[in-house]
């Protein structure tokens, strides 16, 4: 559609003046084709990587391609899954903060995002995204326990399974350290900013989940979207037996 020349007589190119813009050598076409194919592949690969991730890990094929394309994808800001409101629209995540003062002033308690103080809406959304990002980065402070060695009487198959679990655990340890460092970095950065902004001596951040309104509750007038019981504080250390 966009490639057709406009039909109006005066809009067409003057052959002599626009020659360079309308014709190029086959060598240049081949080079451009290779660059275009590479770029479009990179655009495709980032969401493919995201879509092909599951509880068992990521598709090895997608991982292999990503290993090659990652520098380009990272440099060009193409690393997105494009999963808007997917797989399901979920609850919102906010951050509540409490700032304490060394001089005995009353602590300040606030929450972001906050539409009352963050205007225009785009600025509010920036704060909202930071709160969501903190929650997405959350990694519990302790790794799940190491796999226990099998008894001395274990069969060869059981011993082999244990060795595989141990190897996987070492990989998990590295992933955990990386993920935890990212979470702690963001948490510290946000807390330090608030401490500096208000001149406080100590800042405590709490991730808060705001659950969505169920159709039945809203239809029957049982609950409003901002009812206090729809906000849940998320613990920094998950309760025993809980998994994230």
Position among 65, 107, 150, 213 found at the interface with other proteins (CB under 8 A): 213
Identify the residue among 58, 59, 92, 139 touching other proteins (CB under 8 A). Answer: 92
Structure tokens at 223: 């609950």
174: contact with other proteins by CB under 8 A? yes
- Of the candidate residues 34, 36, 154, 222, the single one contacting other proteins (CB under 8 A): 36
Take residue 23 and report the two structure tokens written for it: 């014709």
Q: Which of residues 15-34 bind other proteins (CB under 8 A)?
A: 17-18, 21-22, 24, 29, 32-33
Q: Is 68 in the site for other proteins (CB under 8 A)?
A: no
Rounded to an integer, what is the distance from CA 30 to the centroid of its chain? 37
Tokens of 195: 């401490």
**Interface with other proteins includes 208 (CB under 8 A)?**
no
Phi/psi at 196 (5° precision)? -65, -40
How many CA atoms are closer than 13 Å to the CA of 179, on its beta-carbon side? 15
Report in angstroms how near the CB of residue 239 gets to other proteins at its nearest: 26
Structure-token match 């060394």, residue found: 102
Q: In angstroms, give the least distance from the CB of 240 to other proteins.
A: 28
Nearest to 110 by CA among 86, 92, 94: 94
Indicate whether 4 belongs to the interface with other proteins (CB under 8 A).
yes
Judged by CB under 8 A, which of 40, 64, 109, 160 binds other proteins? 40
Residue 203 near residue 97, CB atoms below 8 Å: yes
Q: Rank residues 119 and 159 by Cβ distance to other proteins and give the closer one.
A: 119
The gap from C-alpha 226 to its chain's centroid, in whole angstroms, comes to 26
- Show contacts with other proteins in window 118-137 (CB under 8 A): 120-130, 133-134
Residue 197 as a binder of other proteins (CB under 8 A): the answer is: yes
Query: Does residue 175 belong to the site contacting other proteins (CB under 8 A)?
Result: yes
Q: How is the chain split among helix, strand and coil, in percent rounded to 5? A: 50, 15, 40
Q: Please, which residue, 12 or 235, has the CB nearer to other proteins?
A: 12
Task: Assess contact for 205 and 97: CB atoms under 8 A.
Answer: yes
Q: Does residue 202 belong to the site contacting other proteins (CB under 8 A)?
A: no
168 touching other proteins, by CB under 8 A: no
């Amino acid at each position: 559609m966009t490639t057709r020349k406009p039909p109006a007589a005066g809009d067409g190119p003057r052959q002599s003046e626009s020659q360079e813009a309308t014709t190029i050598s086959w060598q240049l076409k081949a080079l451009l084709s290779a660059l275009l194919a590479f770029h479009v592949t990179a655009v495709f690969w980032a969401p493919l990587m995201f879509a092909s991730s599951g509880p068992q890990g990521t598709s090895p094929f997608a991982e292999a391609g990503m290993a090659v394309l990652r520098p380009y994808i990272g440099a060009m800001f193409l690393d997105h899954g494009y999963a808007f409101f997917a797989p399901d629209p979920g609850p919102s995540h906010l951050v509540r903060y409490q700032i304490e003062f060394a001089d005995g002033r009353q602590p300040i308690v606030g929450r972001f995002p906050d539409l009352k103080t963050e205007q225009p809406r785009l600025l509010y959304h920036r704060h909202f995204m930071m709160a969501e990002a903190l929650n997405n980065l959350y990694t519990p402070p302790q790794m799940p326990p190491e796999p226990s060695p099998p008894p001395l009487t274990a069969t060869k198959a059981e011993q082999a399974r244990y060795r595989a679990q141990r190897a996987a655990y070492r990989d998990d340890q590295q992933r955990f350290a990386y993920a935890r460092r990212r979470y702690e970095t963001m948490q510290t950065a946000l807390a330090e900013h608030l401490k500096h902004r208000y001149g406080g001596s100590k800042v405590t951040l709490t991730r808060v989940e705001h659950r969505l309104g169920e159709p039945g509750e809203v239809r029957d007038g049982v609950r409003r979207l901002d009812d206090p019981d729809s906000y849940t504080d998320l613990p920094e250390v998950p309760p025993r037996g809980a998994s994230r």
